[in-house]
Amino acid sequence: MIVNDRIVAYINSLDNGNSDICNSIEKQARADNIPIIRKEMGSLLKVLLRLKQPKRILEVGTAVGYSSILMSENMPKGCTITTIEKYEKRIPVAKSNFELAGVTDKITLIEGDAIEEMQKLEGEYDFIFMDAAKGQYINFLPEVMRLLSVGGLLISDNVLQEGDIVESRYAVVRRNRTIHTRMRDYLYTLTHMEELETSIVPIGDGITLSVRVK
């Protein structure tokens, strides 16, 4: 937890919730320990969608479709979402949730590994939400940059490793060291690329907001 628990609880106590279908998918996902965006990330996404008014959204990491459905309810008319998931147990659940929510005309689920699947995508996306394996973000970046339009927004979730990111590599438990090194590399790259203007925001487990400036 990188933000004081009481502050998070207070902020979340002010959350008005979402549609019934979103609330019920969220409840089930949390009960089943499926990793989905935190409440405060959901409310930030909603604001960013209202501000940015995207036309094409790409999400990397669908899980059971919660954040896709939330985005679909808060994006402008005519906007579409492409979301990629590789874990075969989650794919049918996401498909069934998209049916239940009545959003199959707005959301396309691509089954497979994000690196391979992104290579097949064409056209530009003006809103990319990266929410998959943290250790792979740096490997996703070349394809993400190929797909991100100038003026487009890249949001990357879970970038501060529950605060471990500020520790030395050797202070981090061994199994998290590779992710630690790769995430530091990713954050350094995002903040030093001349094509991007990036802010690291300590909300949830830490996110980055990057706007493509050239």
Ligand X SMILES: C[S@@+](CC[C@H](N)C(=O)[O-])C[C@H]1O[C@@H](n2cnc3c(N)ncnc32)[C@H](O)[C@@H]1O
Judged by CB under 6 A, does residue 66 bind ligand X? yes
Residue nearest to ligand X (CB): 61
Dihedral pair phi/psi, residue 19, rounded to 5°: -65, 160
Residue 58 pairs in a beta bridge with 82, 128
Parallel, antiparallel, or unpaired: how do β-strands 148-157 and 207-212 relate?
A: antiparallel
Q: What is the maximum alpha-carbon separation in the chain?
A: 49
Residue 206 near ligand X by CB under 6 A: no
Minimum Å gap between C-beta 124 and ligand X is 20
Q: Of 61, 152, 204, 206, which lies in the binding site for ligand X, with binding defined by CB under 6 A?
A: 61
With beta carbons less than 8 A apart as the criterion, state whether 11 and 170 touch: no
* Residue 198 vs residues 59, 79, 182: alpha-carbon distances, Å: 18, 24, 17
Q: 115 CB contacts (<8 Å, ≥6 apart)?
A: 136, 139, 140, 143
Number of chain residues interacting with ligand X (CB under 6 A) = 19
Q: Can residue 135 be called a binding residue for ligand X (CB under 6 A)?
A: no
**95 φ/ψ angles, rounded to the nearest 5 degrees:** -60, -45
Interacting span for ligand X (CB under 6 A) from 44-52, 100-108, 130-138, 179-187: 130-138
The residue from 2, 8, 11, 133 that contacts ligand X (CB under 6 A) is 133
Q: Structure tokens of 154?
A: 């890249």
Here the tokens at position 3 are 């933000």
Q: How far is the CB of 65 from ligand X (least distance, A)?
A: 6
Please identify, using beta-carbon distances, which residue of 73 and 197 lies nearer to ligand X.
73
Q: Residues near 148 by Cβ (< 8 Å), separated by ≥ 6?
A: 124, 125, 126, 128, 154, 212
Rounded least distance, CB 142 to ligand X, Å: 14
Residue ranges in 83-122 that form contacts with ligand X under rule CB under 6 A = 84-87, 90, 113-114
Question: From the CB of 58, what's the least distance to ligand X, in Å?
Answer: 12
Which of 43, 74, 136, 208 lies at the binding interface for ligand X (CB under 6 A)? 136
97 vs 210, beta carbon nearer ligand X: 97
User: Given the rule CB under 6 A, which residues bind ligand X?
Assistant: 35-37, 61-63, 66-67, 84-87, 90, 113-114, 131-133, 136
